[in-house]
Amino acid sequence: MTHNPGVAITEGRPTDPTDPTDPTYRLLVLPFLRRLGGRLIMPSWLAITIGRWIFAWRPLDEAELAHELEHVRQWRTNGLRFIPRYLAESRRAARSGGDRYRDNRFEVEARAAADAVGAREHEQGG
């Protein structure tokens, strides 16, 4: 088996290991996904979360990881129903004149999680 230095796999728990609602996640950094995701997902994509698996084309900073961990939580809460709920939320956002991605409530929640980390880092001078 050869080692590919561009591929990284991280497994962890986001915050409190004693909290049963705080799910384990796996982050896979696969640089070759950048072009593929740009075609299939959206041109400016960084990562996608499926269940507890986070697929990214480059390492994530703390705020970006917080965004994806919110999606891990959403998957855990909704199970496979997350997929139709996410798509329905995108349709709702578009029908109300918003952006299918930016105004999707699941993305709004994920951005809020990222913003909270960014605010903490700013307060700590980071």
- Domain edges within the chain: 8-123
Tokens (6 digits) for 51: 């269940």
- Asked whether 109 and 89 are in contact (CB, 8 A), the reply is no
Please name every residue paired with 27 in a beta bridge, in sequence order, or none if there are none: 10, 54
Q: What residues contact 120, with CB distance under 8 A and at least 6 apart?
A: none
Tell me how far apart the alpha carbons of residues 113 and 66 are, in angstroms, rounded to a whole number: 6
Give the predicted TM-score (pTM) of the model: 0.80
Tell me how far apart the alpha carbons of residues 126 and 36 are, in angstroms, rounded to a whole number: 33
Tell me, what's the pLDDT at 100? 95
Ordered mean pLDDT values, 10 residues apiece, the chain (126 residues): 53 54 81 85 88 94 94 94 98 97 97 91 71
Tell me, what's the pLDDT at 61? 94
